[in-house]
Amino acid sequence: MTHANAALTPRARLRLARLIVDQDWTCSTAARMFMVAPRTARKWADRYRAEGPPGMVDRSSRPRSMPAKTPPRLVKQIVRLRWHHRLGPVQIGGRLALAASTVHAVLRRCRINRLSHIDRVTGEPLRRYEHPHPGSLIHVDVTKFGNIPDGGGHRFVGRRQGALNKRSTPGLPRGTDYKPRTGRAFVHTVIDDHSRVAYAEIHSDEKADTATGVLRRAVDWLNARGVTVERVLSDNGSCYRSHAWRDTCSELGITHKRTRPYRPQTNGKIERFHRTLADGWAYARFHPCETARRDALPGWLHFYNHHRPHSATNGLPPISRLTNLRFPRDRGGFLCRVSGEGGVLVVDR
């Protein structure tokens, strides 16, 4: 790449070479005009005669032969120890009688110098993917959170007070041990693969009828924002293997894809969103009851979609990748009215 203080850019090299080759200027005269050495002018003229205008660009400075480069046999051994045993450069160098710096250089070239780049289950490099446009693929899943008794849950008030709050909450069913059960909230989530825009609803079960209803409303929510859903990826839960789910996808014109059994990494985007959902909404602050926590979900979804920087979108909020949206801005961000029923986000245009 040409540096900022270079005497000749590719365009100037072409002008210099054409003066010498096409207009019969001498190398010395052309070199004085461009303030370079005659040897430099002769080099670009010779390259222009041999390759034409494409020969004026910079070439790689990599040597043709590197006798001191680590042999491929040792590279394979280093990679194998890194993949299967998750060893560091010092441990690998000790086993193979190599310097730790040499091992580290090989790991960097192979892009496995960080253990976070290697799958913990298979020991292979992580394969990341992203579909080219919004709606090309959406991820669906269900996550569960224990309901909060009146007065707060044990995460904030302690287990002893949490148990007392359970017993004092009216209407809770009793288990076989006669202790009250708060039950669980089933949060059905949808994530767009390209933009990471999220949609969520809270229900009391994860049956097929509930899952298909969430899919229909999520597709309508995305369609209202100019996104056409083409594919949906789910795990192998019973609601996603049902005939109702198959018929709904067929009716909506969506291709259904399922992950490999016992391989949640394939659906990793929505699994990671569940962690963000738990840290940012479910357990972020004290909620005096379950109703208060559910009422906070639409506002948090608005913050996630419109304001929260996302590393997968270059530090911009997910909504920035839906280019059809036009929201007025102020110094604080987007000006929108947020309301919701069952965790559904509604935004005024």
Note the pLDDT of residue 349.
Answer: 32
End-to-end CA distance of the chain: 46
What's 70's DSSP letter?
A: P
Please count the residues of the chain.
349
| Tokens, residue 269 | 């985007």
Residue 158's contacts (CB-CB under 8 Å, 6 or more residues apart) are none
Count CB-CB contacts under 10 A for residue 68: 5
What are the angstrom distances between the C-alpha of 306 and each of 135, 142, 261, 299, 336? Answer: 18, 23, 34, 10, 10
Q: Each residue of 90-126: pLDDT tens digit? A: 999 999 999 999 999 999 998 888 877 676 666 666 6
What rounded mean pLDDT belongs to the chain? 86
How far apart (Å, rounded) are the C-alpha atoms in residues 207 and 21? 78
SS (H, E, C) 27-60: HHHHHHHHCCCHHHHHHHHHHHHHHCHHHHCCCC
Main-chain phi, psi angles of 221, to 5 degrees: -65, -40
Give 256's strand partners.
Answer: 232
Q: Output the furthest CA–CA distance in the chain (Å, rounded).
A: 103
> Would you tell me how many other CB atoms lie within 10 Å of the CB of residue 73?
7
- At 102 the three-state DSSP class reads helix
Type of residue at 208: A
Is residue 162 within 8 A of residue 154, CB to CB? The reply is yes
Instruction: Give pLDDT, residue 121.
Output: 63
Which pLDDT band holds residue 342 (cuts at 50, 70, 90)? very low
Cβ neighbors of 133 (< 8 A, separation 6 or more) are 194
Given a contact cutoff of 8 angstroms between Cβ atoms, the answer to whether 40 and 82 are in contact is no
Non-local (6+) Cβ contacts of 142 within 8 A are 186, 187, 188, 189, 206, 211, 237, 239
Structure tokens, 53: 């205008």
Tell me what pLDDT residue 234 has: 95
- In order of 92, 137, 149, 166, 292, the CA distances from 286 in angstroms are 48, 35, 12, 16, 10
Across the strands, what pairs with 202? 187
Q: Can you tell me the distance from the alpha carbon of 230 to that of 219, in angstroms, rounded to the nearest whole number?
A: 10
The amino acid at residue 78 is: I
Mean pLDDT of 246-260: 94
Give the count of beta carbons closer than 10 Å to the beta carbon of residue 148.
Answer: 27
| pLDDT tens-digit map of 149-192 | 999 988 888 989 988 988 888 888 888 777 888 889 999 999 99
- In the beta sheet, which residues pair with residue 144? 186
Give the tens place of pLDDT for each residue, 276-331: 999 999 999 999 999 999 999 999 999 999 999 998 888 899 999 986 444 433 33
Q: Answer whether residue 43 shows pLDDT above 50.
A: yes
Tokens for 8, please give them: 């000749």
